[in-house]
Structure 1
């Protein structure tokens, strides 16, 4: 079953990433190895830091199997 979640800010995205990582039984070290990023970066991302680079965020989403779908506000 696919679930769609509306992400409005970096904190919400970080929470989605953290929840998905934990559901998959991954710790930060394992996820860091899967996507080639540092544990520090992943921790900052999960905590909603707004300055995380988009390309690196996309690598994390890809490693977790999360698709990013954007649509204009007001469309459902």
Structure 2
């Protein structure tokens, strides 16, 4: 995703909405995405609905499958 289209993610609900929007734009239903990711429909549904307890590893699989790049911006003045 180009930086100009970056979406700030501050909570699970915002990430879930981004994933749902991207899935729908790609014409995928939950069942198809679940098959592509190797994850359950229930997990994807909980993720899209902003459940806080979804595991980061599985979230990264979903983002990669949808072609969403995750970037983190450290605070100014922090070292790499």
TM-score range, shorter chain: over 0.9
Offset of residue 18 of structure 1 = 0.1
For the pair 1:12 / 2:14, whether they are aligned, the reply is yes
Unaligned ranges ≥5, structure 2? none
Q: Distance in 2 between matches of 1:52 and 1:28?
A: 16
Residues 1-76 of structure 1 correspond to what in structure 2 (within 5 A)? 2=2, 3-73=5-75
Gaps of 5+ in 1: none
- For residues 60 and 30 of structure 2, the distance between their equivalents in structure 1, rounded to whole angstroms, comes to 16
Q: Which has the larger radius of gyration?
A: 2
Give the alignment's TM-score, normalised by structure 1: 0.93
Alpha-carbon separation, structure 2, partners of 1:74 and 1:49: 30
- Deviation of 1:72 after TM superposition, in Å, equals 2.0
Report the number of matched residues. Answer: 75
Task: Tell me how far apart the structure 2 counterparts of residues 74 and 37 of structure 1 sit (CA, whole Å).
Answer: 37
